[in-house]
Chains A and B, each alone.
Chain A
Amino acid sequence: MTEKKTFSQWITSRRVQQVLICIGFTVIPLVLLLIFTYIPFGKMVQFSFFKMTYLTPPQARRFVGWQNYIDVFRRKDCFGALKLSLYYMVGAIVQLFLALLLATMLSFKTKGGNFFKGLMFFPYMISGIAIGFIFKFFYTRGFVLDTVLQWCGFNLKDLPYWLKDQRINNWSLVFTSVWRYFGQNMVLFIGAIMSVDSELYEAASLDGANKWEQFRYIILPSIKTIVTLNVILSITGSLSSFEQPYVITNGANGTGTYFVIMNRIAHTSQKVGLASAMAVVLLMIIIICTILQKLFFKYIFRDADSDDESYKAKKARLRAEKAAIKANKARLSQTKGGIA
């Protein structure tokens, strides 16, 4: 008869330890995720159907059904604020092009390349609040930006009020955002470009490909995953832009983005239900945007990867298969006929 194991022996045995670690590593993160993400999210969805403030006791909260959602779509300030996201989306696209261009340039041998990389990545390391303050003074009438432009020969009278003029103040804020994030995008792109086998360039240049062709046919296809990721992050980021307008203008003067308005409704006016509904609506919009982008990129990069095939190719293949089946059938019936 084998010796009976004690508990401590059993618990320290390799097999049990393995199981324990497996369970530990799955359960703990899941529990944390549940407690800090999914349960609060569920609560938020629940709140969005109530009329309540933060301090309203649970029994005094009034169920209002879809009213909060109807309000989100009806109120001028809620949904109208999403229009401001368009500014930030344009900014995001400019930012990505800029980052991709600089990354490509810097990934070839450039004098002082590391210095420039550091210089351009630097803004990302400053806290958003500090950037807000920097740019508040940057845009102040007669301060940094105006002074520099005056050196270049502009007349102060011809210069616009960067934050006061509602036609351009959103662009001013978008510029701040681009300034802050393009360095980070660039570093991500450089990282991806580094992983491209340098022999490919050599081979390409032997075949007579110029730099643009090298970029178009070697670099871009190789880093498409990271490009996709960056685009998705930038677009969702621009839907939920908050820091720049909140710190620089406090969302006043027509710069209140969706997030700033949501924050105001939730914390100043204490309409928690309405703000929760706004958050849920924004989530839906972001999900839809992400799916659309995914589909878009699948189409764009279809011929880069042999796994993906273009719509045309697929159609052609299907047609060919159908034709083959038809031909088969025809042959079969012929042979049948022959037998008959």
Chain B
Amino acid sequence: MKKRLLTIALAGAMCLGLAACGSNSSSGSDEKKELTYSGTVLGENTDLKADITVFNHRTDLDSDDYNGTTWKEYLAAFNKDYPNIHVTITTDTNYADDALTHLQSGDYETVMMIPAINKSDLSSYFMPFDTLDNMKKEINYADTWEYDGEVYGVPSTATTQGIVYNKKVFEKAGITDLPKTPEDFIADLQKIKDNTDAIPLYTNYAAGWTMGAWDAYISGNATGDPTYLNQKFVHTKNPFSDPGDDTHAYNVYKILYDAVSKGLTEDDYTTTDWEGCKGMINNGKIGCMVLGSWAYPQMEAAGKNGDDIGYMPFPMTVDGKQYATAGADYSWGINNSVSDEVKQAALIFVKWMTDKSGFSYNEDGLPVSKTDDRTKLSFDGVDFVTDEPALKGEEDYLNEMNSESELNFNNGGNEKVQAIVEHASKGDESFDDIMKEWNQKWSDAQAANGIDVKY
């Protein structure tokens, strides 16, 4: 009996294997057909009939209570243009992990946000949209998921680094121009403290990761140099010294130290509440918070005063110019094992989401599409900088430095920023001494890892 069961199971497995081979080979032979992002024109091919499935992380867009456009509304609009493409959207709160499980199972959705996989593995799961050169004409951040000249992902939206603030509070405090230097910013926070009841700057100390978020400002925002973070930082001698021109890491963290030591932050930093802060800034109880632009829609949606919330550039000027680090959010990828018709429908869906849906605009992102460059972020006169990847052979340097120095930049190093708040509050260590310690740790780590100092 047992033997018979085993035989059946084996036979079943073989059949499945054969079936999988069959579908693969059929899609392989038809590949000559034009299936590219640039070759897909919206408005054409409107009678195409297909069923596609979509998997993503935006569970909030599933809810009818969502203040912005919901998935239902996007789909209704999409089906006006393409009535015969039937789209099923699934969302997941634990997306980053579950998406990988879906991929590994081999049975995954037609369109999904590409999770954290190696670029060399892209082609085994996803179909190439187009060549990098073609894609660069269609979208921004085209090289986010580029491998060997082919692009496998189209960013759903793009985020940048600035400060989320309450316009009404700023107005009430008498601030007319947004601050452009750390000095102005501290002066403005003082104005908020003097003229309003709001907490000028909410640190979100207790949540931890919200403190680590300050690390995101030391690259593009503080230097204007796209190669700084991934190429120069590890080779820099004493990167936390004061360059004297109100830029670089030293002055980023100094804003925090000064704000705390001058009493421009909340009364008791140890009991800050991340979920609560959203409603507080919405109601005008908080002046501003230092968070990436992804936080902007959440603050808007947290109460009735969404229109009061604004997003401004980080108050730092490098050689007379303001910069902001920008980068792609999750990107759409298309399953490479489905039939060509379904692929075509998926391409149409992705291109429609990018060019016509206004998704990026609705979600307060930076424009991804070249044809739809609307954005709610008031970053006039600010240059966007996208961090370039590390040089070949040096990919692991930043990780090694982070580990050895235990400073962990952009890598969960929340304690070091929390310590700035603690020392500023107690006044038991000057900011220069803290930075001296960091420099020492950085230099020791450079020596321990054998990384040469070039800058």
Q: In the complex, how many angstroms separate the beta carbon of B95 from the nearest chain A beta carbon?
A: 22
Determine how close the nearest CB of chain B comes to the CB of A60; give it in whole angstroms: 11
**A contact residues around B268 at 8 Å (CB):** 140-141, 161, 163-164
**Contact residues in A for B84 (Cβ distance below 8 Å):** none
* In the complex, chain A residues 156-207 whose Cβ is within 8 Å of any chain B Cβ: 161, 163-164, 166, 169
Distance A265 CA – B403 CA, assembled complex (angstroms): 9
Name the CB-closest residue of A to B272: A140
Chain B interface residue count, CB cutoff 8 Å, equals 23
Give the shortest distance, in Å, between A140 (CB) and chain B (any CB): 4
- Residue-wise interface mask of B (397-418) relative to A, using a CB-CB cutoff of 8 A (1 in contact, 0 not): 0000011001010011111001
B270 lies within 8 A of A161 (CB): yes
The A-contacting residues of B in range 220-273, CB under 8 angstroms, are 267-271, 273
A-side interface size class: 20 to 34
Task: Judge if B208 is at the interface, Cβ distance under 8 Å.
Answer: yes
| Contact (Cβ within 8 A) A268 B206 | no
Which chain B residues border A230 with CB–CB below 8 Å? none
Whether A268 touches B270, Cβ cut-off 8 Å, given contacts A136-B206, A252-B205, A252-B418, is no
A164 touches B269 (CB 8 A): yes
As a 0/1 sequence over residues 183 to 215 of chain B, the CB contacts with chain A under 8 angstroms (1 = contact) are 000000000000000000000011010000000
Counting CB contacts under 8 A, is B426 at the interface?
yes
Measured in the bound complex, the distance between the Cα atoms of B271 and A163 in whole Å is 7
| Contact yes or no, B418 A270, CB < 8 A | no
Q: How far is the CA of A135 from the CA of B208 in the complex (A)?
A: 17
- Residues on A with C-beta less than 8 A from B408 are 268-269
User: Which residues of chain B are near A139, meaning CB under 8 Å?
Assistant: 271
Q: Is B270 within 8 A of A169, CB to CB?
A: yes
Main secondary structure of the interface of B (DSSP, over half): helix
Q: Type the 1/0 row for A264-299, where 1 means its CB is closer than 8 Å to any CB of B.
A: 110011110000000000000000000000000000
A-B contact count (CB 8 A): 60
Contacts of B160 in A (CB 8 A): none
Contacts of A137 in B (CB 8 A): 271
Q: Does A12 contact B (CB under 8 A)?
A: no
Contact B422 A268 (CB under 8 A): no
Q: Does A253 contact B (CB under 8 A)?
A: yes
A147 within 8 A of B: no
Chain B residue contacts of A270, Cβ below 8 A: 403
Q: Would A268 and B418 count as touching, CB distance under 8 A?
A: no
Known pairs A249-B206, A252-B415, A253-B422; A265 contacts B406 (CB<8 A): yes
**How far is B104's CA from A85's CA once the two chains are assembled, in angstroms?**
45
The one of B273, B402, B418 in contact with A269, judged by C-beta atoms closer than 8 angstroms, is B402
Query: In the bound complex, what is the Cα–Cα distance between A251 and B422 (angstroms)?
Result: 12
B425: Cβ under 8 A from any A Cβ = yes
Q: Provide the bound-state CA to CA distance between A136 and B269, in Å.
A: 12
Interface: A250 (CB within 8 A): yes
Q: Which chain B positions have C-beta within 8 A of A252?
A: 205-206, 208, 270, 414-415, 418-419, 422
Q: How far is the CA of A201 from the CA of B193 in the complex (A)?
A: 68
A141 touching B271, Cβ below 8 Å: yes
CA distance A250 to B419 in the complex (A): 12
Closest A residue to B411 by CB, please name it: A268
Flag if A163 contacts B412 (CB, 8 Å).
no
A140-B268, A161-B268, A268-B413 given as contacts; is B206 within 8 A of A53 (CB)?
no
Q: Are B426 and A166 in contact (CB under 8 A)?
A: yes
Contact between A253 and B418, CB atoms less than 8 A apart: yes
Knowing A269-B402, A269-B406, say if A249 contacts B270 (CB, 8 Å): yes
- Chain A, range 202-241, C-beta contacts under 8 Å to B: none
State in angstroms the CA–CA spacing of A141 and B269 once bound together: 10
Closest to A267 in B: B412
Contact assessment for B415 and A141 in the assembled complex, using a CB-CB cutoff below 8 Å: no
Q: Which residue of A has the minimal Cβ distance to B426?
A: A166
Complex alpha-carbon distance, A289 and B6, angstroms: 56
State the Cβ distance, A76 to closest chain B Cβ, in Å.
Answer: 11
Residue in A closest to B207 when the chains form the complex, CB atoms: A250
A275 to chain B, nearest CB (A): 12
User: B206, A250: Cβ atoms under 8 Å?
Assistant: yes
A265 and B271 CA atoms in complex are apart in Å by: 24
Complexed CA–CA distance, A268 and B267 (Å): 29
If A141-B268, A161-B270, A163-B268 touch, whether A268 touches B412 (CB-CB below 8 Å) is: yes
- State the Cβ distance, A109 to closest chain B Cβ, in Å: 44
Decide yes or no: A141 and B403 within 8 Å by CB, A166-B426, A250-B206, A269-B408 being known contacts: no
| B residues near A269, Cβ cutoff 8 Å | 402-403, 406, 408
Cα–Cα distance between A252 and B414 once the two chains are bound (Å):
9
Chain B residues with CB under 8 Å of chain A are: 205-206, 208, 267-271, 273, 402-403, 406, 408, 411-415, 418-419, 422, 425-426
Q: Which 7 A-B pairs have the closest CB atoms?
A: A140-B271, A163-B270, A141-B268, A269-B406, A252-B418, A164-B270, A270-B403
Q: A164-B425, A169-B270, A265-B406 given. 17 additional CB < 8 A pairs?
A: A139-B271, A140-B268, A141-B268, A161-B267, A161-B268, A163-B271, A164-B270, A250-B206, A251-B415, A252-B206, A252-B415, A252-B422, A253-B422, A268-B415, A269-B408, A270-B403, A271-B403
A-B contact pairs, 6 of them (CB 8 A): A136-B206, A141-B268, A141-B271, A164-B271, A269-B406, A271-B403
